[in-house]
A and B are shown apart, each in its own frame.
Chain A
Amino acid sequence: EPEVTQTPSHQVTQMGQEVILRCVPISNHLYFYWYRQILGQKVEFLVSFYNNEISEKSEIFDDQFSVERPDGSNFTLKIRSTKLEDSAMYFCASSEALLGSATSSQYFGPGTRLLVL
């Protein structure tokens, strides 16, 4: 069964450093998403991406964050200058279609645990 993959599984970085989290969505999916889950809290939406541009973003997704689909398979989340509060599990997700259609389920990757020291 196709699945979303993410690398690395864990990343430790120093405050102020740039990190890039990588995701390979399911191959025939067109919509891509990033979510995060701070330890002990609920999963929060960051950004959605379709047709090579951001379609929606939350207030969490400020200028320190960016997303890119550099080729036909990868989808990346970059944090330019990490802060302590960026420590979280970051989940990538993809869907074949928009929410509300018969094929609209979002499928999540296993996550990247980011620790900012």
Chain B
Amino acid sequence: AQSVAQPEDQVNVAEGNPLTVKCTYSVSGNPYLFWYVQYPNRGLQFLLKYITGDNLVKGSYGFEAEFNKSQTSFHLKKPSALVSDSALYFCAVNSGYALNFGKGTSLLVTP
């Protein structure tokens, strides 16, 4: 079965510092990988996706993610974190028609 794992429940980073939210995947075949963000009491907002092509994918709000086939990872990154980036981040992989989500990583950016 297609699955992703997010090894960190929470990531803390100071505003202005680079941030990384980790995701590893386990799939058969070529994965389609996604990152979503969830702000409190809000729905899931699409950030970016990897389908094929360049391993570095750029998305919304200055986020990017690097697809690494040898390490089966798809970590989310941002060069300079903002306090407003504090939210819950979900990695996901396709499985048929569905998205299989990781358990989520809470990102806290402190001033």
Q: Are A110 and B43 closer than 8 Å at their CB atoms? A: yes
Determine whether the beta carbon of A100 is less than 8 Å from that of B97: no
> Is residue A31 within 8 Å, beta carbon to beta carbon, of the partner chain?
yes
Q: Is A106 in contact with B99, judged by CB distance below 8 angstroms?
A: yes
Q: Who on chain B is nearest to A92 by CB? A: B43
**A98-B97 in contact (CB<8A):** yes
Task: Report whether A104 and B51 are in contact in the complex, using a CB–CB cutoff of 8 Å.
Answer: yes
CB atoms of A45 and B103 under 8 A apart: no
| C-alpha gap A43/B92 in the complex (Å) | 10
Residue in B44, B45, B98 whose beta carbon sits within 8 Å of that of A45 in the complex:
B98
- Residues of chain B at interface, number, CB under 8 A: 23
- Main SS of chain A's interface residues? strand
Residues of B whose CB lies within 8 Å of any CB of A are: 32, 34, 36, 42-46, 49, 51, 90, 92, 94-104
Nearest first, the 7 closest Cβ-Cβ pairs linking A and B are A48-B97, A45-B98, A108-B44, A99-B94, A110-B43, A56-B97, A43-B101
Inter-chain pairs besides A43-B101, A45-B99, 18 sampled, C-beta below 8 Å: A4-B43, A31-B97, A33-B97, A42-B101, A42-B104, A48-B98, A58-B98, A98-B97, A99-B94, A100-B94, A101-B51, A102-B51, A104-B32, A105-B34, A105-B46, A105-B49, A108-B45, A110-B42
Interface residues, chain A, with chain B CB atoms under 8 Å away? 4, 6, 31, 33, 35, 41-45, 48, 50, 55-56, 58, 91, 93, 98-102, 104-111
